[in-house]
């Protein structure tokens, strides 16, 4: 894939969001795989198809408490000649004209073809009589009905949840072959940033982006590597970039066009091959992606809200791609507007807002009054963003709008 080139006048090309995602995906490759114990497999992505190592159940078992019998014998009172519980070994052949008391999970005795639940039986003169409603060939789980040995039970590329862990354990696995968690280095840039509040130090801007991005990396399946704050010093930035050992570097700040925004110039000096320098989106225009000596670098804006929206759009699918899950863009769904919204400019626009569910179960969305990109409090107050196409006209109450709900995005 060819690197992007500045347009006339030295202004980087603005690419559409979808194009930017495609270019990023073309440069990201899955990290290595390893075999891990099941306790460490939750949230990891299966690197191979995993097959069952045994049949389950290994033999026919009772699905209910009741009596195991031959249905041909069901018309007469039957003596109960034994009892079988879960954990017993498969017994001897059931004699014709008899039945066995049986409990859920117990092996069906050879010769029996039916379990009649206890509620449909009664004892008469010490023998078992079936009540109306009993049916043949019921309440038996056949051998291998859950899964059979050699059957794929988890496909490669699936992110393992608790259900998958249980299935793997029940099929005889103690380990799972999964992709490694991608190592994501996180770096903030700017003389104005501070690690923490220091009394007497004058005006300070606490670095919120790095803790936020590290939290999102964890939530989305990566391992964060904290590279701290880099001051507005191109040499210092170059030294750090030349020593990063990670699967992806995420920077915040320094990617705009100000006199002290050194990221693009420093990257260029290191041989940066850009997939894109700017994206036609708001917030998040100053987002870039490319590689330096095979290290993928995602640069997000310094403003807190813009950084988080850019992370939602680009960092989440990047971690999924590196971690073997394939590209996973934020899931969008439809809602109706609970209040009108203005027309948007020539960029895909993400409007922060609140959602509600009306009595008819329809989701409604209302944009928050403040859309200031530096106001993290407004993003914290929101529970969704509306995604408005570039140059979308004003929309009225009741119009349909596309949204991304934060409760569908882990950790957001």
Going by the DSSP 8-state scheme, the letter that residue 312 receives in this structure is I
Q: One digit per residue, pLDDT tens: the chain, 412 residues?
A: 544 544 434 456 899 999 999 999 999 999 999 999 999 999 999 999 999 999 999 999 999 999 999 999 998 999 999 999 999 999 889 999 999 999 999 999 999 999 999 999 999 999 999 999 999 999 999 999 999 999 999 999 999 999 999 999 999 999 999 999 999 999 999 888 888 777 666 667 889 999 999 999 999 999 999 999 998 888 888 888 889 999 999 999 876 665 556 788 888 888 999 999 999 999 999 999 999 989 999 999 999 999 999 999 999 999 999 999 998 888 999 999 999 999 999 999 999 999 998 656 789 999 999 998 888 898 999 999 999 999 999 999 999 999 999 999 999 9
Burial of 331 (0-12, 13-18, 19+ CB in 10 A): exposed
Pairwise CA distance, residues 350 & 388, whole Å: 6
Tokens representing residue 374 in the block: 């530096």
Give the whole-angstrom CA distance, residue 64 versus residue 249: 56
- Bridge partners (DSSP) listed for residue 252: 188, 300
Question: H or E element: which one contains 184?
Answer: strand 183-189
pTM of the full structure: 0.85
Question: Which class is 34-54+148-179 in CATH?
Answer: alpha beta
What pLDDT is attached to residue 6?
44
* Per-residue confidence (pLDDT) for residue 206, from 0 to 100: 87
Rounded to whole angstroms, the Cα distance separating 297 from 340 reads 38
Tokens at residue 303, please? 């403003």
Task: Give residue 195's pLDDT.
Answer: 83
Q: How many CB atoms sit inside 10 A of residue 60's CB?
A: 21
Domain boundaries, the chain: 8-32+181-322, 34-54+148-179, 61-141, 333-408
Q: What is the pLDDT of residue 161?
A: 96
Q: Which residues make beta-bridge pairs with 273?
A: 291
Q: Is 278:270 a contact under the CB 8 Å cutoff?
A: no
Can you give the pLDDT at residue 359? 55
Helical (H) or strand (E) element with 18: helix 17-27
* Cβ atoms of residues 272 and 291 within 8 Å: yes
Q: Tell me, what's the pLDDT at 270?
A: 87
Q: What is the C-alpha separation between 53 and 144, in angstroms, rounded? A: 12
The CATH fold of domain 333-408? Beta-clip (2.40.340)
Encoded tokens for 154: 């988890």
Give the CATH class of 61-141: mainly beta
Q: Please state, in angstroms and rounded to a whole number, the distance separating the CA atoms of residues 185 and 189.
A: 13
CA distance 181 to 320: 10
pLDDT, position 9: 40
Domain pair 61-141 / 333-408, same fold: no
Q: Which residues, 6 or more positions from 67, have their beta carbon under 8 angstroms from its beta carbon? A: 78, 80, 99, 100, 101, 102, 115, 116, 118, 121, 128
DSSP for 249-279 reads EEEES--SSSTT--HHHHHHHTT-EEEESEE
> In the prediction, which pLDDT does 99 show?
97
For residues 383 and 403, what is the distance between their CA atoms, to the nearest angstrom?
10
- The answer to whether the beta carbons of residues 83 and 188 sit under 8 Å apart is no
Q: Which helix (H) or strand (E) holds 14?
A: strand 14-15
Which pLDDT does position 7 carry in this prediction?
A: 42
Instruction: For 8-32+181-322, give the CATH class.
Output: alpha beta
């Amino acid at each position: 894939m060819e690197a992007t080139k500045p347009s006339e006048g030295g202004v980087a090309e603005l690419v559409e969001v979808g194009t930017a995602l495609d270019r990023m995906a073309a440069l990201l490759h899955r990290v290595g795989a390893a075999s891990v114990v099941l306790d460490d497999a939750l949230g990891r992505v299966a690197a191979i198809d995993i097959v069952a190592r045994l049949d389950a159940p290994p033999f026919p078992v009772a699905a209910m408490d009741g009596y195991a019998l031959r249905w041909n014998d069901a018309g007469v009172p039957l003596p109960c000649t034994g009892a079988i519980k879960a954990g017993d070994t498969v017994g001897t052949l059931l004699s014709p004209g008899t039945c066995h008391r049986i409990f859920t999970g117990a092996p069906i005795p050879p010769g029996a073809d039916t379990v009649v639940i206890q509620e449909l039986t009664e004892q008469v003169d010490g023998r078992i009589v079936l009540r109306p409603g009993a049916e043949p060939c019921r309440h038996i789980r056949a051998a291998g009905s859950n899964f059979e040995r050699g059957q794929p039970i988890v496909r490669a590329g699936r992110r393992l949840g608790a259900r998958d862990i249980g299935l793997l354990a029940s099929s005889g696995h103690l380990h799972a072959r999964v992709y490694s968690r991608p190592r994501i280095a996180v770096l903030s840039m700017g003389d104005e940033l501070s690690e923490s509040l220091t009394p007497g130090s004058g005006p300070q801007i606490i670095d919120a982006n790095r803790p936020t991005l590290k939290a999102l990396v964890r939530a989305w399946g990566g391992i964060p590597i904290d590279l701290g704050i880099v001051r507005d010093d191109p040499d210092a930035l170059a030294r750090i970039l030349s020593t990063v050992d990670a699967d992806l570097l995420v920077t915040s700040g320094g990617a705009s066009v100000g006199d002290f925004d050194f990221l693009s110039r420093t990257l260029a000096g290191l041989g940066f091959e850009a997939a894109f320098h700017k994206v036609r989106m708001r917030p998040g225009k100053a987002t870039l992606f490319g590689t330096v000596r095979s290290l993928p670098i995602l640069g997000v804006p310094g403003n807190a809200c813009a950084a988080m929206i850019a992370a939602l759009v680009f960092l989440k699918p990047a971690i999924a791609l590196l971690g073997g899950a394939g590209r996973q863009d934020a899931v969008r769904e439809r809602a109706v507007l609970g209040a009108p919204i203005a027309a948007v400019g020539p960029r895909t626009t993400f409007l922060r807002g609140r959602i509600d569910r009306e009595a008819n179960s329809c989701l409604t969305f209302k944009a928050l009054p403040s859309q200031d990109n530096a106001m993290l409090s407004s993003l914290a107050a929101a529970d969704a963003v509306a995604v408005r196409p570039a140059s979308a006209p004003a929309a009225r109450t009741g119009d349909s709008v596309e949204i991304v709900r934060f409760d569908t995005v882990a950790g957001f």
